[in-house]
Structure 1
């Protein structure tokens, strides 16, 4: 550990070995959202940590355009039940691109992977939107409420077969996963606990698009779960899981992996104080996330660039950072080749993440998407994400200024001198290249800017979050 567990969760204060600078601001915006624009980086440095953190945690009021295009109920009414997967994913990507509260969407993505549910089996876009709404509502709210409500969520009822579980034939799927994956983790329950809890989850069905308990199909008899006896329902089992001492530790560890590091193994002495705080707060996730993001450990070497960007973070972060207006539908299609389709995780365990995101195929896919986004020549994206326009907007001129701006925007200066020199060498080598006669000097300058931006997006350091 680079941070003493005794001071790890104390509020971060800038110091010589951990200054508040563009690197710190970039780190905050990557982990608590999808990257920062040049203006956000500058404002964050100027405002200082307290104000910048408040802004990230609170977010800003959404625009009228965001509300109009992303309204839950309007989308649920207009989205056909059998809408194609790409359209469903694009709806969420559009929200990620437009939202003025990126942390809420980022935490919704976390819980989507936690309660991993796939439309590949649910086959109902409106149920999936309903589950998204449930998760987004509680993303920074009460985990206890979220866990309890998930037991009657229509998409989850279909996904784990609870809607077919009856007194005569109880299905153990949800009872197992609510303990193993959703609240406690392996080793904190027995097979008997699962069998008994499965009886509590009998009789739940979907009625008028909502989860409801059918008393005639529910086992109302006494069950024994975690050594406690009662005529438990599914909601009662959720409460028993929440009361289990393993529950807050399990969630805190998962959030540590998501927000701090998925390669570091934090000791119990680091996790336990946060778990105690989480339980004492009534499982207030917003309070927990605030403690983590404001902490010494979050701004320590343990956390800095210690994660690999997921495909969603790579794609959405690139477009937001370049201040582009690219449509969400082609982005949803592009994500498929990178191994992450929203509303369609590969299994109930969700995406593995970490090193699993990168291999020869997905790296090539990232390079191709970066080229498609920056070239302005790809028919899917057009010229709505043009690096040349971005640099012109910021008054950037000359090769050295261009490279420094891009490395400062994407990497906040983390690239080694050799990388800067290579990008400069590329720009120098393309000055005298012969291009079509109808190209003007401005055409060539814009092409070179777009090409070097593409190169910057393919750097190894840019794949780190």
Structure 2
């Protein structure tokens, strides 16, 4: 695979940025990606969603007073809004000139899980997403402080039930286990005392706030330090721990490059992360510029976003409604804003179960044949060949040349490697006497493309 195409996929979701990486070089491309401005605007799809704790209480009262029918209507509106949010986010991933920010937002969203299914307030989930977007390339410690004090996380991890004399340890535990240092680097006493420090941190008008009657202000011992600690002080203490940088560094390497990064690399980049005081941008710059020069193609299974958005981009398909993509991602166990559990998407081999692979092949078949997709078709495979399915324009970009040149073009941007037998198979589809100017030339190249994307090698980057 061409290195620029490989890194266009790794730093985004398609081959669109390959030329920019080739022209400017990886370092300048990254600098441009880091400079993408933060969009503070709130999409109109959230106009009817409660935006404060007061709004939420009023909506609850409306549901209670209105009875079951009103409650069902409110629940349906919430689900519809959440689907629209998924489509809104997918559109950003597809259309941003420098999609690295959205890929990083997706990483952090899966790191600090807070699902709509449990939070039940779309605006709070959106706020959570925006905190991540604004700080995606900022400081890991400061991002952690902000995200733990979001209404979404406090509600998702049950800190609304954490009060003095009635302690709930969920947020305290996940702050250590999943947000910062990982299992094995803290004690149960740290979890218990951390929960006391978090007691009373409850949902507020715009963000979580401590409620004085519910707080526990007794001194605690936290990682060997004694005092009255609240969330900001607790995070500062956690980030001073020797093991702090490696858990997140390993996850970043897994998200972008390696399904199984070596401990040597984790330690090397983790030590650097600590040396730059947990600033995310210099860490990413170091990882990407150094790994760019290595031959690492094929070290990671594409996640469903990378798989589907690459196909759509390659085929130049205009998507009018991203809802079908949101549904496909849910089928693939990568439901945006709704991870299966607090640990998030597993990634790696979980992206290639037999069912997932079948669904991917179904999607590729429909897209390459120009079928307009919807949830009903994706859900019921018997409708895949329905004559009632609408058609849409499909256009594959390729430069004219002989059969081997065209095979090489497509291979360079689609496959991390091509074996000798596979090359012969390609040449049996696009024969030596291929006429680049023939009326059916586009269809012949599309058949070759369709063969390539069915290969196991297409599943890897």
Shift of 1:328: 1.8
Aligned to 1:9: none
- The answer (yes or no) to whether the contact 2:5–2:412 under 8 Å persists in 1 is no
2:402 paired with 1:371: no
Q: Distance in 2 between matches of 1:207 and 1:60?
A: 32
Deviations 1:1-49 (A, max 9, x none): xxxxxxxxxxxxxxxxxxxxx6221222222222323xx43453454xx
Aligned to 2:13: 34
Q: Distance in 2 between matches of 1:457 and 1:80?
A: 41
Aligned to 2:422: 419
- The answer (yes or no) to whether the contact 2:171–2:195 under 8 Å persists in 1 is yes
Shift of 1:210: 2.3
**RMSD of aligned alpha carbons:** 2.8
- The answer (yes or no) to whether the contact 1:163–1:203 under 8 Å persists in 2 is yes
- The answer (yes or no) to whether the contact 1:127–1:154 under 8 Å persists in 2 is yes
Match 1:346 to one of 340, 353, 359: 340
- Please list every run of 5 or more consecutive structure 1 residues that lacks an aligned counterpart in the other structure: 1-21, 432-440
Match 1:334 to one of 328, 344, 347: 328
- The answer (yes or no) to whether the contact 1:97–1:319 under 8 Å persists in 2 is no
- The answer (yes or no) to whether the contact 1:76–1:126 under 8 Å persists in 2 is no
Q: Distance in 2 between matches of 1:249 and 1:299?
A: 23
Shift of 1:422: 1.9
Match 2:96 to one of 91, 96, 99: 99
Q: Distance in 2 between matches of 1:204 and 1:61?
A: 34
Q: Distance in 2 between matches of 1:448 and 1:216?
A: 72
Shift of 1:402: 4.5
Q: What is the TM-score of this pair, normalised by structure 1?
A: 0.81
Deviations 1:141-193 (A, max 9, x none): 11111111111111111110012211131210010011111111111111111
Deviations 1:113-153 (A, max 9, x none): 11122212112221111111111111111111111111111
Segment of structure 1 superposing worse, 275-284 or 153-162: 275-284
2:394 paired with 1:409: no
Q: Distance in 2 between matches of 1:43 and 1:232?
A: 48
Query: Residue 379 and residue 180 in structure 1: after superposition, are their counterparts in 2 closer, same or farther (change >3 A)?
Result: closer
Segment of structure 1 superposing worse, 233-242 or 204-213: 204-213
Q: Distance in 2 between matches of 1:231 and 1:207?
A: 22
Aligned to 1:434: none
Aligned residues: 414
Aligned to 2:27: 53
Aligned to 2:42: 73
Aligned to 1:288: 283
Shift of 1:424: 3.8
Q: Distance in 2 between matches of 1:408 and 1:32?
A: 17
Q: Distance in 1 between matches of 2:15 and 2:424?
A: 25
Q: Distance in 1 between matches of 2:244 and 2:353?
A: 34
Deviation >6 Å, runs of 4+? 60-63
- The answer (yes or no) to whether the contact 1:72–1:133 under 8 Å persists in 2 is no
- The answer (yes or no) to whether the contact 1:118–1:345 under 8 Å persists in 2 is yes
Aligned to 1:457: 453
